[in-house]
């Protein structure tokens, strides 16, 4: 660890970056590339990969200094899957060639990523996936392409993505968790078809993705053959922290517009709504402080199963708060701006009306792991309760009843 591991050390690096690359005189992308090369993209990453090998907590110092200088950001909401899920997985399991190929354009936002995990037939049982990857004859251990066939669903950003993280079954003769391999899939390759999946909001930020004879080089495999489930755990734990652990100010997030309506419009108030608002306000504050605690733990290590509790609380609170908001606003809360089918690049909870928040929050208990699955994780891996009986343990995937 160098002097870069101090607040003054990273401030000095920021000053050097700004002196050599004036953000007011450069295109945003050129500045972002220079920032990555200076090790100020994610300071906890290794040098040469956008970082300084410094404590993760120093990223806040860098971000504040650059924001004060008017530097452009990399639009993290648009590229959240790449930043929060693909990047930590590539860093941990990728080869040096993969890290240098993918991380820089991922961070600058030049290349958007999506996640090809969920499947129509697997439901919440992600390890039951049917998408197959078969190594072509003659591939051996030294290379060769994989041919992928199957279908994925609920894929955010697939319509904008250049790359995807993909898990596929490569050995049906072993128990379901053991026969999975993890790949990077080129979304522009022949055989990849993306179809919009219109949601209750009327929009289609999710997609179905059909994979027909898609050829993936072995050089785009992450981790060992058959160990994709272990690799996927890194992605999933980071995903749950990314969804449920956003940094918010006090009374930020979904509770903010409800509290504002309560203060600004006294005619809406009733004693019963007042009690419900107070209860949810306290719970939102507990969740916010819990997220802060998990981020502090993350600063000194990899995310653990505690992130599942965060994501669970995020989903439940969003649905309860958005429901209260609709009730509070009465007929006005039932209005909906525009049912035109669009394919947005981001989910905007806070710049939209109450009706959108209410409808969109329904998906929070499904995306990023269903609430039922997360309760099991919290029970077994956080609280140490006995595991549920499993009839599929030690049974080859091909022999499981369907």
Instruction: With H, G, I as helix, E, B as strand and everything else as coil, classify residue 348.
Output: coil
State the Cα–Cα distance between residues 326 and 346, nearest whole angstrom.
23
State the Cα–Cα distance between residues 233 and 228, nearest whole angstrom.
9
Q: Are 88 and 234 in contact (CB under 8 A)?
A: yes
Q: Are 382 and 308 in contact (CB under 8 A)?
A: yes
What backbone phi and psi angles, to 5 degrees, belong to 329?
A: -85, -5
Q: Are 65 and 92 in contact (CB under 8 A)?
A: no
The strand pairing partners of 217, in sequence order, are: 145
pLDDT at 30 over 50: yes
pLDDT value of position 137: 72
Q: What is the pLDDT of residues 110-166, one digit of tens each?
A: 999 999 999 998 767 889 999 999 998 755 555 689 999 999 999 999 999 999 999
Place of tokens 């160990």: 227
CA dihedral over 174, 176, 178, 179, signed as positive or negative: positive
Q: What is the pLDDT of residues 297-332, one digit of tens each?
A: 777 666 777 788 888 999 999 999 999 999 999 888
Confidence bin at 1 (pLDDT 50/70/90): very low
What backbone phi and psi angles, to 5 degrees, belong to 354?
A: -65, -35
Q: What is the pLDDT of residues 168-202, one digit of tens each?
A: 999 999 999 999 999 999 999 999 999 999 999 99
pLDDT at 243 over 60: yes
pLDDT value of position 141: 54
The strand pairing partners of 135, in sequence order, are: 146
364-387: average pLDDT = 89
CA distances to 116, 387, 393 from 390, rounded to whole Å, are: 26, 9, 6
pLDDT value of position 229: 96
State the Cα–Cα distance between residues 52 and 62, nearest whole angstrom.
12
Confidence bin at 354 (pLDDT 50/70/90): very high
pLDDT value of position 138: 56
b/e map of 248-285 (b: 16 or more CB within 10 Å)? beeeebbbbbbbebbeeeeeeeeeeeeebbeebbebbe
pLDDT at 391 over 90: no
Instruction: With H, G, I as helix, E, B as strand and everything else as coil, classify residue 181.
Output: strand
Place of tokens 């890290």: 99
Please state, rounded to an integer, the average pLDDT across all residues of the chain: 91
Q: Are 237 and 307 in contact (CB under 8 A)?
A: yes
Residues 6+ apart with CB under 8 A from 8: none
252-280: average pLDDT = 93
pLDDT at 2 over 70: no
Instruction: With H, G, I as helix, E, B as strand and everything else as coil, classify residue 164.
Output: strand
Residues 6+ apart with CB under 8 A from 275: none
Q: Are 14 and 66 in contact (CB under 8 A)?
A: yes
Q: Annotated active-site positions, please?
A: 239
DSSP one-letter code for 375 = H
pLDDT value of position 348: 82
**CA Rg, the chain, in Å?**
22
pLDDT at 91 over 80: yes
Q: Which of 247, 327, 252, 249 is nearest to 295 (CA)?
A: 247
pLDDT at 402 over 90: no
Q: Are 32 and 109 in contact (CB under 8 A)?
A: yes
For the whole model, what pTM was predicted?
0.89
């Amino acid at each position: 660890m160098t002097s870069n591991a101090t607040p003054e050390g990273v401030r000095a690096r920021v000053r050097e970056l700004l002196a050599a690359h004036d953000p007011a005189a450069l295109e945003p992308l050129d500045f972002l590339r220079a920032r990555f090369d200076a090790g100020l993209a994610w300071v906890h990453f290794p040098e040469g990969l956008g970082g300084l090998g410094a404590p993760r907590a120093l990223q806040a110092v860098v971000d504040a200094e650059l924001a004060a200088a008017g530097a452009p950001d990399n639009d993290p909401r648009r590229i959240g899957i790449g930043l929060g899920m693909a990047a930590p997985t590539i860093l941990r399991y990728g080869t040096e060639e993969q890290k240098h190929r993918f991380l820089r354009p991922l961070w600058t936002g030049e290349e958007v990523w999506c996640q090809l995990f969920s499947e129509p037939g697997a439901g919440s049982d992600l390890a039951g996936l049917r998408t197959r990857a078969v190594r072509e004859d003659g591939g051996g251990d030294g290379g060769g392409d994989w041919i992928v066939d199957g279908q994925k669903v609920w894929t955010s950003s697939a319509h904008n993505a250049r790359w995807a993280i993909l898990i596929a079954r490569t050995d049906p003769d072993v128990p379901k968790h053991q026969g999975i391999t993890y790949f990077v899939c080129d979304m522009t390759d022949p055989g990849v078809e993306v179809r919009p999946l219109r949601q209750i909001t009327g929009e289609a930020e999710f997609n179905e993705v059909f994979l027909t004879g898609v050829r993936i080089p072995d050089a785009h495999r992450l981790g060992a053959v058959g160990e994709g489930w272990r690799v996927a755990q890194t992605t999933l734990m980071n995903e749950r922290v990314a969804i449920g652990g956003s940094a918010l100010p006090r009374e930020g997030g979904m509770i903010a517009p409800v509290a504002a309506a309560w203060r600004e419009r006294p005619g809406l108030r009733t004693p019963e709504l007042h009690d419900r608002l107070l209860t949810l306000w306290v719970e939102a504050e507990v969740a916010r402080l819990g997220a802060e605690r998990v981020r502090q733990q993350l600063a000194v290590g990899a995310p653990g199963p505690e992130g599942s509790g965060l994501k669970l609380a995020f989903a439940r609170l969003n649905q309860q708060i958005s429901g209260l908001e609709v009730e509070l606003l009465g007929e006005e809360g039932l209005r909906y701006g525009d049912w035109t089918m669009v394919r947005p690049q981001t989910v905007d909870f806070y710049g939209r009306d109450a009706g959108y928040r209410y409808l969109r929050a329904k998906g929070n208990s499904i995306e990023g792991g269903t609430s039922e699955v997360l309760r099991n994780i919290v029970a077994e891996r956080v609280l140490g309760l006995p595991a549920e009986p499993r009839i599929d343990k030690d049974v080859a995937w091909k022999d499981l009843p369907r």
